[in-house]
A and B are shown apart, each in its own frame.
Chain A
Amino acid sequence: MSNQQLNVIARAPFELYFEGQAQVVSAVNKIGKFDILPGHTDFFSLINPCDVVIETDNEQISIPTTNGIVTVRDDQVMLFLNL
């Protein structure tokens, strides 16, 4: 297994849900369910209503989401949720 990790920030306008390293981020967009792993191609997407899941070494965080935007660039993942 790769030691590479994603640097993830997940927040809503008035709330910081998560900031730190993770192995996988999963969510749902118009096309379907997607997973972001280290090394993912640069990506910009709208998020459909779903539970966004962030998996770290120790835990799995689930964030109920009505809408949102995700950006991935050089293993930096930004989740703007519940806009």
Chain B
Amino acid sequence: MRRANAIQKDQTEIETVEDLTGVFESLASTQVAKIKTKVELSKEFFDLIWSKYSLIRVDPKSRITQRIRQDNGKNVFVVISAEAGLSGDIDQRLIETVLKDYDPKTTDLIVLGSHGAQQLMQRGIRYTHYFRVPETDSYVDVSPVIKAIEPYKETKIYYEEYLSLGTQGIKKMDLIQTIHTMSDSTNDPDDVIAETDTVFEPSLEEIADSMEQAMMTLAFSQAILESSLAQDASRFNAMAVAKKRAMELVNFYKLEFHQSKRSESDRRMREVMISLKRKKRARNNV
């Protein structure tokens, strides 16, 4: 059996790990709540801006489709992974899903997040662009990514989806299709804002361009937020498991420590008894 002070040293170390995982767990939980609010706000914002946009165009859907598709003959997959680790196996599942659909002859890869880029490199898969995941705490700037996808005929975004705090999945979306779906709730077709009764400054065309850019950015930002939400939830789960394991280890070390202490005490008692017996024997022999 190990010595009691060696066990106590291990126990202290594991208690530190337990405290740290508890802090990470709490941070992840706070982050989940914060991002959930942001996701809801951005959905509301999209609905509002779409409701105005659809009033100035007869067929806004076809206009957006034409705007995005420049067609260099290839498709692009945009993979949104985590910037840091400690989020369980969710990035690994994401990359596995991407690779099931990926054909290097027809498709290029754009990666957001160093964790995903690292996983692709480990598998010997080349990507055309890498971007850091934009900060979700403040403004989500996705303009460099939007610029990078412009030449492609089809854009699919692969990202981690938040289903619940306990469950996260992998989702893929067609960017254009998503904008169509998000805009399903259209206004009354007779309710149109026209240049005859409304002042447009600087011009209707420039305003429509600006709104389209905003909606594209928003659809992308929502995927990044959703992904960030899933990663934080996954991190929360990974930390909860680690904390539970650390608690089990602490309990085990406590038990081992008491067993060791008792064993030391028993040994001392035995030594005392043997010593007493020896002394008694010696006295009898005299």
> Per a CB cutoff under 8 Å, which of A9, A44, A82 touches B139?
A82
**Shortest distance between the CB of A20 and any CB in chain B (Å):** 16
Inter-subunit contact A46/B38 (CB<8 Å): no
**Residue A61 at the chain B interface, CB threshold 8 Å:** no
Query: How many chain B residues touch A (Cβ–Cβ < 8 Å)?
Result: 29
List chain A residues, Cβ under 8 A from B199: 41-45
A71: nearest chain-B partner, CB-CB: B52
List chain A residues, Cβ under 8 A from B213: 83
Interface residues on A, range: 20 to 34
- Complex Cα distance A30/B201, Å? 8
Interface SS, B side: helix
Inter-subunit contact A44/B56 (CB<8 Å): yes
List chain A residues, Cβ under 8 A from B193: 42, 44, 73
**Shortest distance between the CB of B62 and any CB in chain A (Å):** 21
- Complex Cα distance A43/B193, Å? 10
List chain A residues, Cβ under 8 A from B38: 14
> Per a CB cutoff under 8 Å, which of A12, A44, A73 touches B201?
A44
Inter-subunit contact A44/B197 (CB<8 Å): no
**Shortest distance between the CB of A74 and any CB in chain B (Å):** 11
Inter-subunit contact B198/A42 (CB<8 Å): yes
B225: nearest chain-A partner, CB-CB: A14
> Per a CB cutoff under 8 Å, which of A14, A16, A30 touches B202?
A30
Known: A9-B48, A44-B56. A69 touches B200 (CB 8 A): no
A-facing residues in B25-43 (Cβ within 8 Å): 38, 41-42
- Complex Cα distance A2/B176, Å? 46
List chain A residues, Cβ under 8 A from B56: 44
B-facing residues in A53-80 (Cβ within 8 Å): 67, 69, 71, 73, 78, 80
**Shortest distance between the CB of B93 and any CB in chain A (Å):** 27
**Interface residues of A, Cβ cutoff 8 Å to B:** 9, 11-16, 29-31, 41-46, 67, 69, 71, 73, 78, 80, 82-83
Selected A-B contacts with CB under 8 Å, 12 pairs: A11-B44, A13-B42, A14-B42, A16-B41, A30-B201, A31-B202, A41-B198, A44-B199, A44-B207, A45-B200, A80-B45, A83-B213
- In the A-B complex, the 8 residue pairs with the closest CB atoms: A42-B198, A45-B201, A83-B214, A14-B38, A30-B202, A13-B45, A13-B42, A44-B200
**Interface residues of B, Cβ cutoff 8 Å to A:** 38, 41-42, 44-46, 48-49, 52, 56, 139-140, 193, 197-202, 204, 206-207, 210-211, 213-214, 217-218, 221
